[in-house]
Structure 1
Amino acid sequence: MVEDFESAQNGASGAWVAAFRDKVRTLGGALYRDLPWRCIDDPYGVLVSEVMLQQTQVKRVLGRWEAFMALFPTIDALAAADVSAVLSQWQGLGYNRRALALKRTAETCADRFAGRLPESYDELVRLPGIGPATAAGVRAFAFDQPGVYLETNVRTVFLYELFSDRDGVADKELVPLVQAACPQTDVRGWYYALLDYGAHLKATVGNHARRSATYARQSAFEGSRRQKRAEVVRIVLSEPGIELESLAAALDREEAAAGRSAVDRDVFESIVADLVREGFFRQVGDGFVA
């Protein structure tokens, strides 16, 4: 297949596409994962899964997606929910900004699209927290529409199969290939196969997505500003109305329990100010509530 691909690059026919599709369909089909958010007739449920999976592994999303959907079964239900309820349900998944963006997307859809998720790519990428990959994923899995769904497992397959001898491969090289390989029918099944083959490759031969020019190793969470932000959100959710000094003391106790020193006061206050500004919680009187 690599030879066919190289021939195509040199101006020969695009025979690599047919060979690539056949291989991915065969291998990916054999590796199919029967996940609860697959093959459902619910674009909103697909969106929730795509947002949860943006930066979280499948095994951590299993169970959490079902619980979230049970509590917020529709766009209108999520739009009407309190921020505190949404953030509480999100705890443990990480990257709380995703939960806030998802709620804001639900509010926009409730107001502008009669509680439905738009099918148009251009409309989707205008919604909070939805970038090109998430929009393409929603269109593929919810509406069976073709597009360039370039996420880590998909990227892994293309790098492994077509760029086995190169590092630093830019997405601008991958995008036209992903677009050319994407069929016009059964788009949903095509990307399921790519995802499952990519997950298998990462588990058996390593993460070839590291050879992408876009790859960046995630910084350590423990002790980071991101960890302190998450802890502040958790404390406010568990103690509505907590005042600033009590919040600082509670955060310092958590840091001490983890073997870390007290948080610098300026850092703490900037974290609280950022979280208020971003809408995670608000100040009511002398206290904070989500």
Structure 2
Amino acid sequence: MPSVADSGSLPTAEELASFRAAVLARGRELYRDLPWRRTRDPYAIWISEVMLQQTQVSRVDGRWQHWLGLFPTVDALASADSADVLDEWQGLGYNRRALSLWRAAQEVSAAGGQMPSDEVALKALPGVGPATAAGIRSFAFDMPGVYLETNVRTVLLHELFPHEEGVSDTQLVPIVRATCPPDANDPTDDPRTWYYALLDYGAHLKATVPNPSRRSRSHVRQSRFEGSHRQKRAEVLRILLAHRADPRGGVDLDTLCVELSREERAAGRRGVNASDTQTLLTELSKEGFCHNNGNIWCT
């Protein structure tokens, strides 16, 4: 079909129908039977959506099940110790996402323990943005929405913008909205099935062709993690979590500085002084990751 860029306008109804038929066909061919697709539990789906934001599917498969074993319901997550939540999240990306999950679970639990299906209510929860809200609505409740994430972008750019650079989300959103089925009347073409097809086709494209999502205006190359300020923050939190069993309940600044420097030197970098370590602790404390108990830092 002709590209949107060539026509200078949104696809016609016939072009959208052709696009949808092609994607659904590829979706049936490329379908991935992933564990979180075997449930309609909005809490479990919410956890999978957040885990998958930064972590490969192969790594989430296993970690998701273990998380649900520890925190099987939104109430269980809400009542958990934040340090336990952060400890379980290690290796799954930005630690602030774990804190946001915990805080959002507390809000949902306080409101009765039922995950909302309303888009506005979902987006009001800590850490829940438009894509996460749309994912929960589509996969748990089979409700339509604009689920625009990297694999979806990949399909749209590959099929409809094959030659254009710097495609903005404002160009894509109307297409996502127009192509999502409005209801779940057809079990072979409902919002849940449609977005699974887009995700699976997008994953296939990323593995077989030069990544089309790089032509998206929203594409940002991930900054180097190793040796970065972000990496040192993550390492400080890991050390704090490792000292939870200490009789003092945490670790003093000097010991933390020594252990952080040891890790840095083992990676071929210079050590960290007490002032820099204190700065990292202050940042983490302000964000709710840790607190100071006298001279002892605790999670």
What is the TM-score with the length of structure 2 in the denominator? 0.93
Contact 2:5 2:161 in 1 (8 A): no
Given candidates 189, 192, 206, the residue that maps to 2:193 is 189
- SS of equivalent to 2:297: strand
Query: CA–CA distance in 1 between the matches of 2:4 and 2:55?
Result: 35
Are residue 262 (structure 1) and residue 260 (structure 2) matched?
no
Output the amino acid matched with 1:162.
Answer: L
The equivalent residue for 2:281 is 272
Contact 2:142 2:192 in 1 (8 A): yes
13-22 vs 135-144, which deviates more? 13-22
Query: CA–CA distance in 2 between the matches of 1:271 and 1:115?
Result: 35
The equivalent residue for 1:26 is 25
Query: CA–CA distance in 1 between the matches of 2:175 and 2:294?
Result: 56
Q: Which segments of 5 or more consecutive residues in structure 2 lack a partner in the other structure?
A: 185-189, 245-249
Q: Which segments of 5 or more consecutive residues in structure 1 lack a partner in the other structure?
A: none
- C-alpha deviation, 1:7, in angstroms: 5.5
260-269 vs 138-147, which deviates more? 260-269
Deviations along 1:8-39, one digit per CA (max 9) or x if unpaired, are: 927x8421111111000000111000110014
- C-alpha deviation, 1:3, in angstroms: 5.6
Output the amino acid matched with 2:99.
Answer: L
The Cα RMSD (Å) is 1.5
Query: CA–CA distance in 2 between the matches of 1:84 and 1:166?
Result: 46
Deviations along 1:185-227, one digit per CA (max 9) or x if unpaired, are: 3100100000000000000002110000011100111001111
Contact 2:3 2:161 in 1 (8 A): no
Given candidates 220, 228, 233, the residue that maps to 2:232 is 228
Query: CA–CA distance in 1 between the matches of 2:114 and 2:137?
Result: 14
Query: CA–CA distance in 2 between the matches of 1:266 and 1:196?
Result: 48
What is the TM-score with the length of structure 1 in the denominator? 0.96
Output the amino acid matched with 1:238.
Answer: A
Alpha-carbon distance change, 4 to 94 in structure 1, aligned in 2, over 3 angstroms: closer
Contact 2:152 2:198 in 1 (8 A): yes
Query: CA–CA distance in 2 between the matches of 1:219 and 1:143?
Result: 36
Alpha-carbon distance change, 133 to 4 in structure 1, aligned in 2, over 3 angstroms: closer
Output the amino acid matched with 1:234.
Answer: R
Query: CA–CA distance in 1 between the matches of 2:5 and 2:236?
Result: 51
The equivalent residue for 1:109 is 108
Contact 2:4 2:161 in 1 (8 A): no
118-127 vs 194-203, which deviates more? 118-127
Query: CA–CA distance in 1 between the matches of 2:267 and 2:57?
Result: 27
Deviations along 1:52-95, one digit per CA (max 9) or x if unpaired, are: 01111111111000000010000000000001111111111121
146-155 vs 53-62, which deviates more? 53-62
Aligned pair count?
Answer: 288
Alignment of 1:44-193 (within 5 A): 44-112=43-111, 114-184=112-182, 185=184, 186-193=190-197
- SS of equivalent to 2:99: helix
Contact 1:5 1:16 in 2 (8 A): no
Query: CA–CA distance in 2 between the matches of 1:3 and 1:173?
Result: 13
Identity of aligned residues (%): 55
Contact 1:88 1:237 in 2 (8 A): yes
Contact 2:104 2:125 in 1 (8 A): yes
Alpha-carbon distance change, 210 to 231 in structure 1, aligned in 2, over 3 angstroms: same
- SS of equivalent to 1:9: coil
Output the amino acid matched with 1:161.
Answer: E
Given candidates 200, 212, 215, the residue that maps to 2:216 is 212
